[in-house]
Chains A and B, each alone.
Chain A
Amino acid sequence: MEQLLLLLIFLPLVGALVTAFSGNAAKHVALVSSIVSLALTLALVCNFSPNASTQFVVDFPWIQELGINFHVGIDGISIITVLLTNVLIPLIILAGYQHNYKNPKGFFALILFMQSGLLLVFTALDAFLFYIGWEAALIPIYFICAIWGGKDRIKVNMKFFVYTIAGSLFMLMGIIYLYLQNPAHNFDIQAFYSLNLDSTQQCWIFWAFFIAFAIKMPIFPFHTWQPNTYTEAPAVGTMLLSGIMLKMGIYGVIRWLLPIVPSGVQDWAHLAIILSVIGILYASIIAFTQKDAKRLVAYSSIAHVGLISAGIFALNVQGMQGAMVQMLSHGINVVGLFFVLDIISNRVKTNRISELGGIAKQAPILAIVSLIIVFGTVALPGTNGFIGEFLLLMGVYQYNAWIAAFAGLTIIFGAVYMLRMYQNVMLGKTNELTIGFTDIKGSEKVVLYTICVLIIVLGVYPKPILQLSEASVQHLIEQVTQKLTSVN
C-alpha cells in the first residue's frame, strides 16, 4: 500500500517505454496503461481517509549532497488533481483513436511520459522534485504540439515554450533562494512552510513563483501564448494543455505560493484578483468576436481560469473549495468541448463557426451530448460547472462584493457566447458542408458519454469530491491565516 504512489508515478513511464516499442498497437498499449493508472488511482481514492494529513508518503534520499529527496505524498488537495489527471488521460488517449497520426508510437508514448511528469508535480513534497516534474511535463507537450500540430506550429510552440520556461527559470531562482534560507539545507516543503521571511523577501519570492504559475494558467497579461498554441496544437494536445496542464499553475499557487509566502500573497492578492477579473472580462469579450470555434473555447478557458484564480486569492474556504471542484469540472468540460470540435473538424475539415450549421439534424446524439457539455461549461444548475463557479463566486464575494459582481459576469457572458456558438454550429440550416455529417460512434461515443455522465453526476452529487478536499483546504487556510496573524 505504501508503495502505491510510487507505482502510480512510474507506471506511465513504463507504459511510455512499452508504447515506444510497440509498433502498430501503440494506441492500445497506451490506453491499457492509462486505464491501469486510473484503476490504481481509484484504489488510492478508496484508501484515502479524508482528513488534512498527507498520506501515502514516500520519502527517500535522492541526491543527498544537494539536499534533494524523493519525497511525494497525497493530501486532499493533490488527490483532486491526481484524480483529474488519471481520469482525463484515458479519455484523451481514446479521443486520439480517430486520428491516424504519423508515428503513433512517439505520440502516445509522449502522452504517457507527460502523465508521469504531471503526477510528479501534483504529488511532490520536495521543491526540487516539483521543478523536475514541472519541466518533465513541458517537454513532451512541446513535442506533441510541435510535431503533430497545424501549419504555424513551429513558431507558435517556440513562443509557448520560451514563455513557460522563462517563468519556470525564475521559479527555480526562487526555489534556490528558499533552499539557501532553509537552515536544514534541503527542499522539504514543511521546512519551506516554516521559514521566517521578511516582507521584502516574501515579495520577491511571490513574484518569482507567481509569474511561473500565472504563465501556466494563464492569467492576464501572461496569456498571449495561449490562444495560438491551443489553436495550432493537435486536438489531443489542446486537451492535455487545457484539461490538465493549466491546473499545474493553479495547484502550484495553492501548494507552494500561499503557504510559503502568505504575507507576500496578502500584499499582492488584490492585484492578482484584479488581474484575474480583467482576464475574465477581456477573454469573454474577445470570445464573442471569435470566428473560429476552437479559438472561442480557448478564450473561454482563460475566463474560467481567471475565476478560479480569483477564488484562490480570496483566501477563504469557499473560494478554495470552489477552486478544487472547478479544477475538476473545467478539466472535464473543456476536454469535452475540444473533443466535440475535433470530431467536427475531423469530418468537415473546419472549425469556422460561420461555415457550420445544422449538424443536430444529421447527428442528434452529438448534438445532445455537446449540449450537456455546453451546459456544464456555462454552469447551469445541476451540472458540475455550477457547483464550482457558485462556490468560487461566494468566495470572491466574501473578499469584495464589487469584484464578485464583475467576476460573476463570466457566467452571463459565457452563457451568451457558448450558446450562440452552439446555436450556429449545431442548429440552423444544414448546408452543403454539413449535409454528409455522420453521427458519433465507437470510441467517440465512449468518451463523450463518460464526460456527460461525469458532468451530471458531479453536478447532482458533488459531495464526495468536496469531502475529499475539505479537511486539507481548511487546514491550508488555517495555516495561512495563522502565519499572517503571527506576523502582524
Chain B
Amino acid sequence: MNIIITIAVTALVVLYAGLFKAKKALLPITLVGLLASLAFVVTSWNTNKTYYGMMQMDNFALAFAGITIVGTIFIFLLTQNYFAENSENIAEYFTLILFALAGIEIMVSYKNMSMLFIGLEIMSVSLYILAGIRKGNFASNEASLKYFLMGAFSTGFLLFGITLIYGATGSFDLDVINQYLVGNFKTISPMFYPGVILILIGLSFKIGAAPFHFWTPDVYEGAPTLITSFMSTVVKTAGFAAFLRLFADTFAPLHDFWLPPLMVIVCLTLFIGNVTALFQKNFKRMLAYSSISHAGYLLFSLVTLSGNSANNVLVYAAAYTFASIIAFAVLILVKQKTGNDHFDSFNGLAKKNPLTTLILTVAMLSLAGIPLTAGFIGKYLMFLNVMGEYQVYLVAFAILNALVGFYYYFKVIVAMYFKEGNEIELDTPVQYKVVLVLSVIITVFLGVYPAVILNLI
C-alpha cells in the first residue's frame, strides 16, 4: 500500500515542482520517490498483507511491483534532454508516467475486480495522453487516438465480462469467485462462461496479443520512443501480472474451458508477431512486432498452470524488460544522430562505438534466446513448462517461431558489424551509460546464474 501511496505522492510533488519551473529538480525527486517505493517493496517482502479485501501485497505482487519500478527507474534515467527536446511541459511527462506506474501497482496487486478496472484505467488514461504528448506531430496524434479508441473498446469488453461474472457470482472479490467455481463446479451459471471469454479478450487487447494486436505497431511507432519503451516493457509486464492473477488463480478451475481459445491466441500471437517483424525495415516497428511475439511466449505460462507459472513470467518479463530497455536506449541515441530509426541507420555502428554495439548485441541475443543470456532462461522455462504437459506440437511451433526471431534480431547485428556505413559516433550521456551497463549486467547475470530469481514467488 505504501508503495502506491509513495508513487502517487511523488507524482503530485513532481507536478508542483513543474509549476514552479524547477526543471532540474524533477528527475532527482522522481528517483528518490521511486527508490523509496522500491525500499517499501523490499521491506514488505513476505508480509502478505491484504488491504480491505481490495488489494493483496503478496510476494507475487511485490515481485512484479519491484520489476516494474526498476524498469521505470531505468526509463527515467534515459530522460535526460529527451523530453526537453520534445515538449515545454516536462513535469507532465514525469507525472503521467508516475500515475501510470501507480495504476500498474494496483494492477499487480488487485484482489477485487473493481480494483483491476481502476488500476487498468489509471494506467491507460495516463498512457493515452503520453502517446499523444507531441502535439504537433501527426504520428503521435494518430497513436494517441488509435490507442484511446482501441483501449476504450477493450475496456468495454473487460467491463462487460466483469459484469457477467458479477451476475453469476454476486461478487467482485477474487476469492469469492474462486470459491464459487470450486463449490458449484457442476452448476456454474451460463453467464460465467461468456464473462471469462470477454475478460480474456479485454486483457488480450491490453497486452497486445493477436488477433487483438492491431493497435500496437502504430501506437508503438507513433509514440515518443521513451514512452514506447515504457509501454512495451513495464506496461506489458503489468498486463501479464494482471492476466496471471485472474487466470492462473481465480479462473484456474475452468482451465479446460478457456484453454482452447487461449491456445488460438497463443499460436496467432507467436506467428503474426514473428512473421510481421521479419518484414520490417524500421527498427522501432520491428521491436513493436517482436513485442507481440514475446507476448505469445509469455502466454505459454497460462497454457500449463503449474506452481511455477508466475515465476516463469517474472523471469521472462525481467529478461525482456532489460533487453528492450537497452534496445530502445540505443535507438534513441542513434536517432539523435541519424534522424531516423531504420535498420540502415545502424550500419557500421560498431566501428566507432564498440561498447554500445556490444551491449546492444547482447540485448539482441537475449531477445532471440541465446544461452548465457536471461532471454534464454526465460524461453527455456516456458518450453520446459509446456513440454511438461507434452504439448510437443506447441513447443515445435514455438521453436520454428524462435528461428524466425533469430533472423530479425540478427538483422540489427548484421547492420552494426557487417555492413559499411556512415561511421557515426554516438553521444552517450553518463545516465545512458549507467542504464546500458546495468541492464547488460543484469541480462548476463540472470543468464548465467538465474537461481537468484527462480524461486522468488
Instruction: Tell me which residues across on chain B come within 8 A of A63, comparing CB atoms.
Output: 449-451, 454
Assess whether B417 is in contact with A143, with CB atoms less than 8 Å apart: yes
Closest to B453 in A: A65
Produce 1/0 per residue, B390-419, CB < 8 A to A.
Answer: 001001100100110011001000100111
Assess whether A162 is in contact with B418, with CB atoms less than 8 Å apart: no
Assess whether A153 is in contact with B418, with CB atoms less than 8 Å apart: yes
Instruction: Tell me which residues across on chain B come within 8 A of A131, comparing CB atoms.
Output: 371
Closest to A61 in B: B451
**B19 at the A interface (CB under 8 A):** no
Assess whether A173 is in contact with B414, with CB atoms less than 8 Å apart: no
Instruction: Tell me which residues across on chain A come within 8 A of B320, comparing CB atoms.
Output: none
Q: How many residues of B contact A (CB 8 A)?
A: 27
Assess whether B388 is in contact with A180, with CB atoms less than 8 Å apart: yes
Docked complex Cα distance between A482 and B399 (Å): 35
Which of A66, A162, A177, A180 sits near B403, CB closer than 8 Å?
A: A162
Assess whether A173 is in contact with B454, with CB atoms less than 8 Å apart: no
Docked complex Cα distance between A66 and B455 (Å): 10
Contact (A147, B418) CB under 8 Å given A132-B371, A180-B387: yes
Instruction: Tell me which residues across on chain B come within 8 A of A143, comparing CB atoms.
Output: 417
Docked complex Cα distance between A122 and B419 (Å): 34
Instruction: Tell me which residues across on chain B come within 8 A of A136, comparing CB atoms.
Output: 371-372
**B32 at the A interface (CB under 8 A):** no
**B9 at the A interface (CB under 8 A):** no
Instruction: Tell me which residues across on chain A come within 8 A of B410, comparing CB atoms.
Output: 158, 161
**B230 at the A interface (CB under 8 A):** no
Produce 1/0 per residue, B371-399, CB < 8 A to A.
Answer: 11000000010011001100010011001
Question: Which of A164-172, A323-331, A359-367, A464-472 lies at the interface with chain B?
Answer: A164-172
Produce 1/0 per residue, A135-160, CB < 8 A to B.
Answer: 11001000100110000011000100
Assess whether B387 is in contact with A177, with CB atoms less than 8 Å apart: yes
**B370 at the A interface (CB under 8 A):** yes
**B365 at the A interface (CB under 8 A):** yes
Assess whether B414 is in contact with A146, with CB atoms less than 8 Å apart: yes
Assess whether A170 is in contact with B451, with CB atoms less than 8 Å apart: no
Docked complex Cα distance between A143 and B416 (Å): 12
Within 8 A of A (CB), among B339-383: 365, 370-372, 380, 383
Instruction: Tell me which residues across on chain B come within 8 A of A176, comparing CB atoms.
Output: 380, 383-384, 387, 395
A135 to chain B, nearest CB (A): 5
Contact (A65, B455) CB under 8 Å given A135-B371, A177-B387: yes
Assess whether B454 is in contact with A170, with CB atoms less than 8 Å apart: no
Instruction: Tell me which residues across on chain A come within 8 A of B396, comparing CB atoms.
Output: 170, 173
Assess whether B451 is in contact with A64, with CB atoms less than 8 Å apart: yes
Within 8 A of B (CB), among A47-91: 62-66
Within 8 A of A (CB), among B416-433: 417-419
Which of B371, B383, B418 sits near A154, CB closer than 8 Å?
A: B418
Assess whether A169 is in contact with B418, with CB atoms less than 8 Å apart: no
Assess whether A65 is in contact with B383, with CB atoms less than 8 Å apart: no
Assess whether A162 is in contact with B399, with CB atoms less than 8 Å apart: no
Docked complex Cα distance between A132 and B450 (Å): 14
Assess whether A173 is in contact with B451, with CB atoms less than 8 Å apart: no
Instruction: Tell me which residues across on chain A come within 8 A of B403, comparing CB atoms.
Output: 162, 165-166, 169
Assess whether B402 is in contact with A169, with CB atoms less than 8 Å apart: yes
Closest to A129 in B: B371
Docked complex Cα distance between A132 and B419 (Å): 29
Instruction: Tell me which residues across on chain B come within 8 A of A146, comparing CB atoms.
Output: 414, 417-418
Docked complex Cα distance between A135 and B407 (Å): 16
Docked complex Cα distance between A478 and B216 (Å): 59
Instruction: Tell me which residues across on chain B come within 8 A of A153, comparing CB atoms.
Output: 418
Assess whether A173 is in contact with B371, with CB atoms less than 8 Å apart: no
Within 8 A of B (CB), among A404-442: none
Which of A66, A162, A172, A180 sits near B406, CB closer than 8 Å?
A: A162
Instruction: Tell me which residues across on chain A come within 8 A of B371, comparing CB atoms.
Output: 131-132, 135-136
Contact (A135, B455) CB under 8 Å given A154-B414, A162-B406, A169-B403: no
B315 to chain A, nearest CB (A): 11
Assess whether B399 is in contact with A161, with CB atoms less than 8 Å apart: no
Instruction: Tell me which residues across on chain B come within 8 A of A147, comparing CB atoms.
Output: 417-418
Instruction: Tell me which residues across on chain B come within 8 A of A66, comparing CB atoms.
Output: 384, 450, 454
A56 to chain B, nearest CB (A): 23
Instruction: Tell me which residues across on chain A come within 8 A of B451, comparing CB atoms.
Output: 63-65
Assess whether B372 is in contact with A173, with CB atoms less than 8 Å apart: no
Docked complex Cα distance between A318 and B455 (Å): 49
Assess whether B383 is in contact with A173, with CB atoms less than 8 Å apart: yes
Contact (A158, B387) CB under 8 Å given A66-B454, A132-B372: no
B347 to chain A, nearest CB (A): 12
Which of A62, A139, A166, A180 sits near B365, CB closer than 8 Å?
A: A139
Closest to A166 in B: B403
Closest to A142 in B: B410
B300 to chain A, nearest CB (A): 13
Which of B384, B395, B407 sits near A162, CB closer than 8 Å?
A: B407
Closest to A66 in B: B454
Instruction: Tell me which residues across on chain B come within 8 A of A172, comparing CB atoms.
Output: 380, 383, 399
Instruction: Tell me which residues across on chain B come within 8 A of A139, comparing CB atoms.
Output: 365, 370
Instruction: Tell me which residues across on chain B come within 8 A of A65, comparing CB atoms.
Output: 451, 454-455
Docked complex Cα distance between A147 and B350 (Å): 11
The 25 listed contacts between A and B (C-beta, < 8 Å) are A64-B451, A65-B454, A65-B455, A66-B450, A132-B371, A135-B371, A135-B372, A139-B365, A147-B417, A147-B418, A154-B419, A158-B414, A162-B406, A166-B399, A166-B403, A169-B399, A169-B403, A170-B396, A173-B383, A173-B387, A173-B396, A176-B383, A176-B384, A177-B392, A179-B384
Q: List 5 tightest A-B contacts by C-beta distance, closest first.
A: A65-B454, A135-B371, A169-B399, A132-B371, A176-B387
5 further contact pairs, Cβ within 8 A, besides A63-B454, A139-B370, A176-B380? A65-B455, A139-B365, A143-B417, A166-B399, A166-B403
Chain A interface residues (CB < 8 Å from chain B): 62-66, 131-132, 135-136, 139, 143, 146-147, 153-154, 158, 161-162, 165-166, 169-170, 172-173, 176-177, 179-180
